[in-house]
Structure 1
Amino acid sequence: MTASAPITQDVLTFPRKLPDGPANLIGLTREQLREALLAAGTPEKQVKMRANQLWQWLYQKGVRDFEEMTNLSKDYRATLAENFVIALPEVVTRELSEDGTRKYLVRIAGGHEVEVVYIPEEGRGTLCVSSQVGCTLTCSFCHTGTQKLVRNLTAGEIIGQVMLARDDLGEWPEPGQGPEDKPRLLSNIVLMGMGEPLYNFENVRDAMKIAMDPEGICLSRRRITLSTSGVVPEIARTAQEIGCLLAVSFHATTDDVRDKLVPINKRWNIEELLEALKEYPKVSNSERITFEYVMLKGVNDSDEDARRLVSLIKGIPAKINLIPFNEWPGAPYTRSDWKRIKAFADIVHDAGYASPIRKPRGEDIMAACGQLKSATERARKSRKQIEAEAGIGNGSA
């Protein structure tokens, strides 16, 4: 398959304007915000200043009520209220794991739902954000992959996940405080939730630019990691237009196995993917690519796989994230034994690569890596159906 082949998904992205109502300001880029304010009657000489004021209220202070925007005149606040809303996705449920992980079931426009996960760690906190309702990639080890793709999320629905998590964490500054006066509980974003981010590139890009804006949420680009299953033509664009760190759902060392685990490999195989990664503009020893590798018993966890992995990534500044498989109802695989994972990690480490073994988080609330699947879209499949789609016969579980 050539790189010129179309790669976008023919799915609806819900419009920024709410049905028969005012436009939502959340998710508009700075330029789009200025254009919206001009269209609502803001004088051209004032529009840049007004956009900056609104931006800070929305993304630095977390204010949702125009009446609280006290450096705007009462008349202008009334104009804003007539023309715009400030709307986030709705939190339907919030589950708290024994290890402190929080999982939010979030409802977006159209009644669809996605899941968002906050993982607290020592000195930091990571939010796992979704980019699509469902997923088109059908990775056989991933629970989300058993849910059909419904639609892309808008930029507002993506950055809205960050904002609602900050609400829940109490991270916005109090009146009279600056953003530096509150501890940074949400310090990192990983685009590793539901969906393939590079199949919703523009909305992901716009949302992350809002997250990185120094006059708003103000996260460093190096605190944002985008995970892709291997949409090769969009990889360089990620560095150029977002500038974040990159992670790759790799999971296999031969095309035969990866075709089954990560079916996008049939379109862009391991060789094509690795060539794109070698040329990734941001690759350096300080900004390594993360190779995500889920450990599946008897499938991809042999010493030979470990040695082959090391050989494949030679020349790419990288670290290997080993992920013990997080089981879910009907899963056709089981987790590799701990000794096997450790032996695999030792081979990778001895070859000079960092090989941390990811500690499963939030398993008791189905919030761990590969377990996300929105409740309303959870059409249960039998083990045989999943195994048949994965092309693995009777499976190993």
Structure 2
Amino acid sequence: MKYLQSGGNAMEEPIIVLELEYNQWLDLCTEKFGLQRYRTDQICQWIYQKKVFNIADMTNLSKELREDLVYKLLILPPMLVRQEISKDGTRKFLWQLRDGERIESVLLSHGNHMTACLSSQVGCPLACSFCATGQGGFVRNLSAGEIVGQFLAMEKIAGMDINNIVFMGMGEPFLNQEALFKSIRIFNDPKMRGLGARHMTISTSGIVPGIQALIKLQMPVKLSVSLHATNDELRNKLMPVNRQYPLGALVDALREYQTATGDRITIEYVMIDKVNDLVEQAYELATLLNGLSVYVNLIPYNPVEGRFKRSSAGRIKAFSAVLSEMNIEFEIRREKGSDINAACGQLRRRDGKDAKN
């Protein structure tokens, strides 16, 4: 526990409580503060279910307890800098963190349910050639509390519960594995947010050790893999991470994951004009995925500073026809949020100078 000097007397620094799992909450309230167990549940209910972040507003706590805890507990979701709303209802949020760094995350509306697309890093170290996030470089990992805070702040702003989470925003989740798994446990805990594991999806660019760690986690979180190429030569150019974890090792890890979990895997495949959308590449994709239970999302490329062009509707149709012929389940993803740069691959790290751009 850190201390601050104030008027010659040592004062404990407030505890950043969004970093805590339930067992840590319980120890804090019962052991350190001497409270009864039910007080832990009351406070957690206020934060994670009612989205009340001010201790003074937790009215089923006594006035004396609130006055005591207000100096000891810091409930600090990220600060909203800007919200943009797409013509299709997608919302993009620009958040500022405690150290001044900024991240973006997205809220997607699907009619009868909503999905939060959360960031796991400030920037991204993978530098995929088609993605805006990596162009801004990498600064640091997010803490578990910063990941959780995005979601709670979104729910408070939306005024309703969000049904699903995809760890598909800025950064590679498996390169921030400890904070990622901790945030999942916080979301899942029935005493906290109580979101079912099947309502959470981790999207990876193919970090093999992360997939293996997910197997050991033994929590039925869904897995999505950004593939985008059907051979190592092309994938090395599009996604430098492939040099460390080539397609053979990645597919082996997916087979291991599927044997252990029995879960179907989502394959993300961005359609880039005359780069990875050839008919023969569709056959290569079907061959690569042979024996796996997969669902392929074909994603029309969202332009990033003119680097590539989106595949035409005709080329996507021809590509998908091969998948259908080869009995690969697929969907051509409907574009959401591209008019506010909130679509797949368009999120960016922004500082104060470019926050309005």
The verdict on a shared fold, with TM-score over 0.5 as the criterion, is: yes
For structure 1, the residue ranges without an aligned partner over 5 or more in a row are 1-14, 172-183, 380-397
Question: Is the Cα contact below 8 Å between 1:283 and 1:317 reproduced in 2?
Answer: no
Q: Is this contact kept in 2: 1:17–1:24, CA < 8 A?
A: no
The whole-number CA distance in structure 1 between the counterparts of 2:236 and 2:353 is 25
Deviations 1:340-362 (A, max 9, x none): 11111121122222210111111
**Paired residues of 1:278 and 1:316 also in contact (CA < 8 A):** yes
Residue of structure 2 equivalent to 1:340: 315
Give yes or no for the alignment of 1:207 onto 2:183. Answer: yes
Q: TM-score, normalised by structure 2?
A: 0.91
Q: Determine helix, strand or coil for the equivalent of 1:114.
A: strand
Alignment match of 2:221 (pick from 244, 265, 286): 244
Q: How does 1:37-56 map to 2 (within 5 A)?
A: 37=29, 40-42=32-34, 46=36, 48-56=37-45
Query: Of 225, 230, 255, which residue of structure 1 is paired with 2:206?
Result: 230
CA distance in 1, matches of 2:287, 2:278: 14
- Give me the whole-angstrom Cα distance separating, in 2, the residues matched to 1:16 and 1:367: 39
Show the counterpart of 2:90: 101
Cα distance change of structure 1 residues 38 and 17 upon mapping to structure 2, 3 Å threshold: farther
**Structure 2 match to 1:296:** 272
Query: Amino acid of the residue matched to residue 303 of structure 1?
Result: V
How many pairs align? 346
CA contact (8 A) 1:293 1:323 kept: yes
Work out whether 1:140 is the aligned partner of 2:129.
yes
Determine if contact 2:22/2:189 at 8 Å carries over to the other structure: no
Shift of 1:27: 2.8
- Runs of 4+ in structure 1 deviating by more than 4 angstroms, as ranges, are 15-18
Give 5+ residue unaligned stretches, structure 2. Answer: 5-11
- How far is the alpha carbon of 1:17 from its aligned partner? 10
* 1:149 aligned to which of 138, 160, 165: 138
Shift of 1:16: 11
Shift of 1:145: 1.2
The residue that corresponds to 1:353 in the other structure is 328
Aligned residue number for residue 258 of structure 1? 235
Name the SS of the counterpart of 1:293 in structure 2. Answer: strand
Q: Is the 8 A contact 1:283 1:289 kept in 2?
A: no
Task: Tell me how far 1:243 sits from its aligned partner.
Answer: 2.9
- Amino acid in the other structure paired with 2:113: R
User: After superposition, what is the alpha-carbon deviation per residue over 1:65-99, rounded to whole angstroms, capped at 9, x for unaligned?
Assistant: 22332333333222211211111100100001111
Read off the aligned partner of 2:328 and give its amino acid letter: Y
Aligned counterparts, 1:51-70, within 5 A: 51-70=40-59
- d(CA) in 2 for partners of 1:367 and 1:230? 22
SS of residue paired to 1:195: coil
CA distance in 1, matches of 2:277, 2:84: 32
Counterpart contact for 1:17–1:23, Cα < 8 Å: no
Contact 2:22 2:191 in 1 (8 A): no
Q: Which residue of structure 1 lines up, in the alignment, with residue 27 of structure 2?
A: 35
Give CA deviations for 1:187-222 in whole Å, capped at 9, x if unaligned: 111111000000111111111222222233322211
Q: 1:239 to 1:377 in 2, by over 3 A?
A: farther
Q: Which protein has the bigger strand share? A: 2
Preserved CA contact (<8 Å) 2:22 2:192: no
Instruction: Give % identity.
Output: 41
Partner-residue secondary structure (3-state), 1:364 = helix
TM-score (norm 1): 0.82
1:57 Cα shift?
1.5
